[in-house]
Structure formats: structure tokens, C-alpha cells
Amino acid sequence: MSALTGLKVLELGTLIAGPFAARIFGEFGADVIKVETPHGPDGTGGGDPIRSWRHLHEGNSLWWTVQARNKQSIALNLKHPEAREIARKLALDADVVVENYRPGVLEKWGLGFEQLRAINPALIMVRLSGYGQTGPMKDQPGFGAIGESMGGLRYVSGHPDRPPLRVGISIGDSIAALHGVIGAMMALRHRDATGGRWNGVQGEGCQAGQGQMVDVALYEAVFNMMESLVPEYDVAGVVRERTGGALPGIVPSNTYTTRDGQNIVIAGNGDAIFHRLMLAIGRDDLASDPDLVRNDGRARRVAEIDGAIQQWCDGRGIEEALNTLKAADVPVGKIYSVADMFSDPQFLARRMIEQHHFADGSPVKLPAVVPKLSETPGGTRWIGPSLGEHTEEVLKSLGYDSAAIDKLAQTGAIGIPAPKETTHVSHTP
């Protein structure tokens, strides 16, 4: 059994933030039903746009195998009234709804928080959007890149003499998704403390726990990660700027280049660690300098200290540098590429790379699920499904018979895939 076995999650989202939040629920055992737009009448289009992002395998993104693992895909055209009724029935039995539409869209479809709470008072709705559900900017489109910019992350990323850089992944969306999951788990704790899951029956003795909305704005989730940014500006008038690979005000902590052109990160910013680091690189003079015993003194001489470390690295290859500093118990690390991860003993010992298979039998490796729970661990039950793969299965669980399902397909309310599209496969240890 996994930690969230029995929890029911309905995903009304596309691309990154909402689906990533729902993915985490699914990784720890929740039953996640993902609503996707069906193919058009000519068979084109449809599905979460991320299906076609980056590198593809047989028409589906390799990213999709991770983002949609453990989810059931049901193809509903939410512009169709009968499809919206199906979504309401799913919400009636859900613990959590995750959505990342622009504010107001779900309300127009009768699927907003207040509308769904009226039929399921214990429902938790996680709403992820660029600017939140209120405020003058709520109706504007806001992707993760905008959240990273407005939340302060882009401003401090990169080198001081160059324009700001982006992190190499969609970090703003991912941070927002994590906040959504954290908020949902707190809301579920409150719901359970106030009556628990609603059983669909009203009356004395059948009071449901209190549901609520988790309102996550992408820019606010990023802003929440910005450490001492606000008080430093308020009290000291300091605007944190770009500092390249260094950690401003915490010395030494930077990226250095070895003789063979490799980059390593050395974090010698603890007082005792700094002393060991200076001895390891042959700078006993700096190790014994009373002005450098504390971080505030080192911060005033950061250029001198970084220069000494870089001079030492200039004369050593990466393996010698790593081994010397590890022997001195100094935090040091190579900057890993994915190729490094595939062969690294720590990654392998922790089983951080999992082997799975596509429906055609070809192999695919995925990242393992984190965090690692000792008693109720998460896992990958299957990789990302084909569009609408579970439509019939889900509808039958709601009481629709084959004739009703065929009629819904004919009206365009739902989409049903051909059998050959199925990609739902089990985990291979």
C-alpha cells in the first residue's frame, strides 16, 4: 500500500504546473483521472499539448512518460454539456481537483470551486495560475517563465555583466506544483479533522469535513523561495543582484574550473570547513588568519579567497581535486550531466533510475519517485497513457453502459482510442 492509496484526484489541467501536482499524488498511490481534449473530427489534435513537446517516441513526448505516469486518461470535450456533466460526476466522488485554467474558465463551464463545492462540500480544489484567483492581473495569461521573472528568480540568475538567465527546466511551474500539493495535503488534514470525506448523503450524522480552495499563483510560489530578499531590501536597502556561480555573502561557495576544463562546486563556507579547505589547498596563511575565522570577515575578502582556490584548481585535474577535498571533509561536487547520473554509484545505490517498457516492448528509463518513504513508498505503476485510454473504463465506473458511451462518442462529448493506441504498461523492476 502507498501513502495515498484510496485518495481520488481529478486533473483538469494541461502542460506543467497542474499535471505535475497531480503526478505527485499519483506517484504515491492516489487514483488520478486526467481529463484531456479528444482528437478533432479529422483525428488530429487533442490531448495535453505536452504530448508533443521535446523528444518524441511514436508520437508521444518522452516527457509525457514521466509527467503522466500512474494517471488514467479520459477524453472529454468540456465545451460539450454532456462532457461537463461527466466531469461533475467525477468531482462528486473526488477528494482533490487540480486545475490550471485561466481564472474564470471553469466557472463558465459550471466547474468552478463554489459550483463543485455545492455538490461535494468536502472537496479540495488546487488552483494553479499565473497570478492567482484575485487581483488586477488575475485574468492575464501567466506561464512559468513569467512567474520566475515576476517572483524574482530571473533577476538574480546569471552573471552580473550579462542579461538574466533561465534555469534549464520549467522551475517556476514545478515550484508552483509543489506548493499546490503541500497546500492540498494541509487542506486534507483539516478536512479529515472536521468530518472527513463526504459520502454523498446529507442529513443528521452525515456532516462532511470542510473542503477549501488552494490558490497558488506561480509568481508567489517563486517569490516564496527567495530567501532573505525582502528584509534585506526593507532594512538594509540591498537589492540582490546576479553573482554567477557564487553565493553572495556566504564565502567561499562558488564554481571553479580544474586543469582539464571541468567545473566543480566547492562549498567551504562553514568556519571549520573553511579552515580544512585552506589547509587542503596549501594556504595555511589563510587558514590561520584571524580576520577569516568568521563568514563576515571572509565576505569582505571574497575575491582573494576565490582567487586562491581557483589557483589551486588550475594545477589539478578534476579527479585529484575531488579526492583531495573529499579526504579533507570539504563539501565538493562535480556538476553532473544526465550521462554522469546514469553511471554514478550513488544514483545506482539509491535506485534513482528505473527501467520500464513501452507497449511495443522497447525500454525506457524514468527517474524514480521521491521522497523515499520507509513504510509506504511511492512508485511507477505505468508510464503515461494514450489519449483517452481509460475513457470507457471510467465511464462504466460512473454507471454508463456501452450504448450510452457510444452515443457520447457520436455527439463529440468524449473520445475513445483505437486499441492499437494503448501504451499503458506495468513497471518492470
Mean pLDDT confidence for 95-100: 98
Whether residue 173 lies in the annotated active site: yes
Q: What pLDDT is stored for residue 417 in this prediction?
A: 81
CATH architecture of the region 8-226+350-415:
3-Layer(aba) Sandwich (3.40)
| Maximum separation of any 2 CA atoms in the chain, in Å | 85
- What single DSSP character describes residue 405? H
Task: Outline which parts of the chain fall under CATH 3.30.1540.
Answer: 253-257+263-334
Q: Does 205 have pLDDT greater than 60?
A: no
- Measured between alpha carbons, how far is 319 from 47 in angstroms, rounded to an integer? 47
Per-residue pLDDT band at 58 (split at 50, 70, 90): confident
C-alpha cell at 408: 457520447
C-alpha cell at 263: 567545473
Q: How far is CA 135 from CA 57, 130, 138, 165, 264, in A?
A: 42, 11, 6, 28, 44
C-alpha cell at 273: 570547513
- Sequence-distant (≥ 6) Cβ neighbours of residue 315 within 8 angstroms: 259
Nearest to 208 by CA among 218, 193, 226, 223: 193
Q: Does 146 have pLDDT greater than 70?
A: yes
Q: Tell me how crowded residue 377 is: count the other CB atoms within 10 A of its CB.
A: 17
Mean pLDDT confidence for 107-111: 97
Phi/psi-derived region of residue 40, left when phi > 0, alpha when psi is between -120 and 50, beta in every other case: beta
Nearest to 382 by CA among 31, 28, 70, 101: 70
Mean pLDDT confidence for 18-24: 98
CATH class of 253-257+263-334: alpha beta
Per residue in 385-401, pLDDT (tens digit) is 999 999 999 999 999 99
Q: Does 236 have pLDDT greater than 70?
A: yes
- Sequence-distant (≥ 6) Cβ neighbours of residue 188 within 8 angstroms: 7, 95, 96, 124
Spatial contact of 286 and 340, defined as CB atoms under 8 Å apart: no
Find out whether the peptide bond into 252 is cis, omega within 30 degrees of 0: yes
| Side-chain-facing half-sphere of 299: CA atoms under 13 Å | 8
- Sequence-distant (≥ 6) Cβ neighbours of residue 379 within 8 angstroms: 2, 27, 369, 427
Q: Does 21 have pLDDT greater than 70?
A: yes
Q: Does 235 have pLDDT greater than 80?
A: yes
Q: What pLDDT is stored for residue 206 in this prediction?
A: 56
Rg over CA atoms, the chain: 26
Spatial contact of 11 and 18, defined as CB atoms under 8 Å apart: yes
Q: Tell me how crowded residue 388 is: count the other CB atoms within 10 A of its CB.
A: 27
Q: Quick one: CA dihedral 172, 178, 181, 185, positive or negative?
A: negative
Report the predicted TM-score, pTM, of the whole model to 2 decimal places. Answer: 0.92
Spatial contact of 384 and 364, defined as CB atoms under 8 Å apart: no
Q: What pLDDT is stored for residue 338 in this prediction?
A: 96
Per residue in 269-304, pLDDT (tens digit) is 999 999 999 999 999 999 999 999 999 999 999 999
Q: Quick one: CA dihedral 20, 183, 10, 134, positive or negative?
A: negative
Q: What pLDDT is stored for residue 77 in this prediction?
A: 96
Q: Does 115 have pLDDT greater than 90?
A: yes
Spatial contact of 35 and 12, defined as CB atoms under 8 Å apart: yes
Per residue in 28-37, pLDDT (tens digit) is 999 999 999 9
Mean pLDDT confidence for 53-58: 91
Nearest to 89 by CA among 69, 110, 72: 110
Q: What pLDDT is stored for residue 79 in this prediction?
A: 95
Per-residue pLDDT band at 202 (split at 50, 70, 90): low
As a residue count, the chain comes to 429
C-alpha cell at 368: 524514480
Range with the lowest mean pLDDT among 41-55, 94-108, 130-144, 161-175?
Answer: 41-55
Q: What pLDDT is stored for residue 195 in this prediction?
A: 93
Per residue in 313-341, pLDDT (tens digit) is 999 999 999 999 999 999 999 999 999 99
Per-residue pLDDT band at 203 (split at 50, 70, 90): very low
Range with the lowest mean pLDDT among 100-109, 228-237, 240-249?
Answer: 240-249
Q: Does 380 have pLDDT greater than 70?
A: yes
Q: Does 221 have pLDDT greater than 90?
A: yes
Q: What pLDDT is stored for residue 59 in this prediction?
A: 83
- What single DSSP character describes residue 53? S
Q: What pLDDT is stored for residue 419 in this prediction?
A: 56
**String of DSSP letters for 82-149:** HHHHHHHHHHHT-SEEEE-SPTTHHHHTT-SHHHHHTT-TT-EEEEEESS-SSSTTTTS---HHHHHH
Task: Outline which parts of the chain fall under CATH 3.40.50.10540.
Answer: 8-226+350-415
Q: Does 429 have pLDDT greater than 60?
A: no
Choose, from 31, 95, 173, 306, the residue flagged as catalytic. Answer: 173
- Decide which of 163 and 198 is more confident: 163
Average pLDDT over the chain reads 93
- Measured between alpha carbons, how far is 127 from 21 in angstroms, rounded to an integer? 10
Q: Does 428 have pLDDT greater than 50?
A: no
